[in-house]
Amino acid sequence: MAITQTIETLDVTVLEPRMKHPTIFQWFDKLKGGEAFIIHNDHDPKPLYYQLLGERGNVFKWEYLEQGPAVWEVQISKLTPEEGESVGELVAKDYRKAQVFKKYGIDFCCGGKKSVKQVCAEKGISQDELEAELIAMDQAEKERDAEYDKWDLGFLADYIVNMHHKYLREAIPALYEYTTKIARVHGSRHPELVEVVKHYTNVANELEAHMPKEERVLFPYIKQLEEAKKSGVKLEPAGFGSIQNPINMMEMEHESAGGEMERIRELTDNYTLPADACATYTVAFKKLKEFEDDLFRHIHLENNILFPKAIEMEKEVLK
Ligand SMILES: [Fe+2]
Ligand SMILES: [Fe+2]
């Protein structure tokens, strides 16, 4: 597609059904930041919005030019890097990116509201080099996820319980002891530790209530879906309606837990130890960081692999 100032229109109605979404994605991928195209359709293309958001992230603007009933037109613009995701948002979505930013001395907590382009300009870092590292990281992650992707959903659910829920149940009381102890001993000189305990207690309580819901309601239902799919036996609708309902709730709780961890990371300046930190202080920060890493991995497996596949499976089984 030639890069021109005029905005081209893609008439989706004349495309073969199986070619509609791939063609739109092709057009989108060819756009440079700041460019746009229009899709012309005979119904609301909202599902495409979610697909684009899921697969490309928050890197586009979606504007309705016409909203039916017969004609639907949407202008899709690709955001420029400075309008695109901020460093903080990138880290919130994938905490491993924090390592890359840290390596370049980029603040992704309090100053994380700036875009990659802005911070590179300010720090005199090559944006290409930084982006190449971020992309390589995405790639490595995709390869790792490809493994989980092959697993049966029931097996993945059991893996999450045996690895991550088990970890949390052990880590929660131990970390509570560490954080309250350092707040008691060092709280007068480091008042932020008192705040850390508050946020840590919030996230610990939330997760303790969250895990049984997955273990007793959602995961058993996912296993039932899998059974029904294998055996072909009809499954009675669940008491909670569509699986989307408990999943929405779980995702909201994940977001809240992530928010608490973000506050802790801000308060501790990304787990930076002060000069007067004692051994317990050091262990507490190390364990908090480990807790965060495990939690993000855990949430990633649920939000990005288990849940979307379970939603698809339910559609298949109940159709
Ligand atoms: Fe979980
Ligand atoms: Fe969860």
122, 147, 172: which is the final residue of a domain?
A: 147
Asked if 225 and 314 sit in the same domain, the reply is yes
What spacing in Å lies between the alpha carbon of 214 and ligand 2's midpoint? 7
Q: Considering just the CA atoms, what is the radius of gyration of the chain in Å?
A: 23
What spacing in Å lies between the alpha carbon of 243 and ligand 1's midpoint? 15
3 falls within a domain? no
Ligand nearest to the backbone CA of 163: 1
Window from 99-103, 188-192, 196-200 with minimum mean pLDDT: 99-103
pLDDT for 226 beyond 80:
yes
Residues near ion ligand 1 (CB < 5 Å) are 214
Residues near ion ligand 2 (CB < 5 Å) are 250, 302
Structure tokens at 301: 């497996």
What spacing in Å lies between the alpha carbon of 61 and ligand 2's midpoint? 30
pLDDT for 110 beyond 60:
no
20, 52, 78: which is the final residue of a domain?
A: 78
- Range of the structural domain that residue 179 is part of: 151-318
Ligand nearest to the backbone CA of 206: 2
- Cα angle 202, 203, 205 (rounded to 5 degrees) comes to 65
63 falls within a domain? yes
Nearest to 31 by CA among 65, 49, 66, 4: 4
Amino acid sitting at position 181: K
Asked if 223 and 182 sit in the same domain, the reply is yes
31 falls within a domain? yes
Which ranges of the chain would DSSP assign to H, the alpha helix? 17-30, 46-56, 87-93, 97-103, 116-123, 127-150, 153-160, 166-186, 192-213, 219-231, 244-267, 279-300, 307-318
Asked if 270 and 161 sit in the same domain, the reply is yes
Ligand nearest to the backbone CA of 246: 2
Asked if 203 and 69 sit in the same domain, the reply is no
How many independent structural domains does the chain possess?
3
188 falls within a domain? yes
Asked if 157 and 252 sit in the same domain, the reply is yes
Ligand nearest to the backbone CA of 294: 1
Ligand nearest to the backbone CA of 257: 2
Asked if 124 and 215 sit in the same domain, the reply is no
pLDDT for 298 beyond 80:
yes
What spacing in Å lies between the alpha carbon of 303 and ligand 1's midpoint? 10
Q: Is the pTM of this model over 0.85?
A: no
With bands split at pLDDT 50, 70 and 90, how would you rate the model's confidence at 149? confident
pLDDT: which is higher, 106 or 197: 197
